[in-house]
Amino acid sequence: MRPSAVTALLVALVCVPTQHLRAATNPKPTSRAALPTNPAVAESIPDLLADGCAVAADRCWHQGDYVGVAFFNAMVVALDPSDVDAWSNYAWITWAGLYKDAEALSILRRGVRANPNRYELYAELGAELQRQKRYKESEETFAKALRFSPPPLVWNQYAHAIEKGGDPERAASVWREMLRRFPDWPLSQVNLDRLRRHGLIRESTPTTSG
């Protein structure tokens, strides 16, 4: 049975270290006027609950309870929409453990809307679209990720989406650009060599002077 929201909150509270709970509550007040007035205390409660739900999700994972993993990650992103790792975990378990591809895409799109100025969830969405062989959409999504200074891995995924979409020459141009931007990233040259070896791109013509 899917755990109720009340159960989730109780589990989260149980998982929160007691010292944090003591810091977030005051056992002494006897009237509303005596309640803590420090806004940081109240603001910390959603974070504590999110941490507890993350612990609960991990426990569910080790128990093979994939519905529980999805549920508690859903709780985490509801409490903290900026947690891109939780969005990623939520989407991954939804398709890999629960076999719900369309729902996984919906989760990632919601995550992107909640974090429009970060590359991580654009990259996750691009990878999921690529896994579903929706290469044009994957390419367009990775292109959005590139606006936010992602690491070379995301550029590499972008190039693969272009190649799998049927345009190896344009993919090669991305890998050549990566040679310039990320000279220590080895896979750019590896992929260019692979494309040449299989006759998928034209050999570059060396320039001469004089």
We report the CATH number of the domain holding residue 188 as 1.25.40.10
- Assess if residue 27 is contained within a domain: no
| pLDDT given at position 125 | 99
What are the residue ranges in the chain where pLDDT is below 50?
Answer: 1-6, 14, 16-33, 35, 205-210
| pLDDT given at position 37 | 60
- Assess if residue 156 is contained within a domain: yes
Q: Is 12 helix (H, G, I), strand (E, B) or coil?
A: helix
- Assess if residue 65 is contained within a domain: no
Q: State the pTM of this model.
A: 0.79
| pLDDT given at position 119 | 99
- Assess if residue 2 is contained within a domain: no
With CA atoms as reference, report the closest residue to 86 among 64, 65, 62, 110.
Answer: 110
Q: What is the SS3 string spanning 26-43?
A: CCCCCCHHHCCCCHHHHH
| pLDDT given at position 66 | 98
d(CA 52, CA 72): 9
Q: What angle do CA 149, 187, 178 make, to 5 degrees?
A: 40
Q: Which structural domain range is residue 205 located in?
A: 117-210
- Assess if residue 132 is contained within a domain: yes
- Assess if residue 30 is contained within a domain: no
- Assess if residue 53 is contained within a domain: no
- Assess if residue 100 is contained within a domain: no
Per-residue pLDDT of 61-71, as tens digits, reads 999 999 999 99
| pLDDT given at position 45 | 87
Number of domains in the chain: 1
Phi-psi category of 95—alpha, beta or left, where left has phi over 0 and alpha has psi -120 to 50? alpha
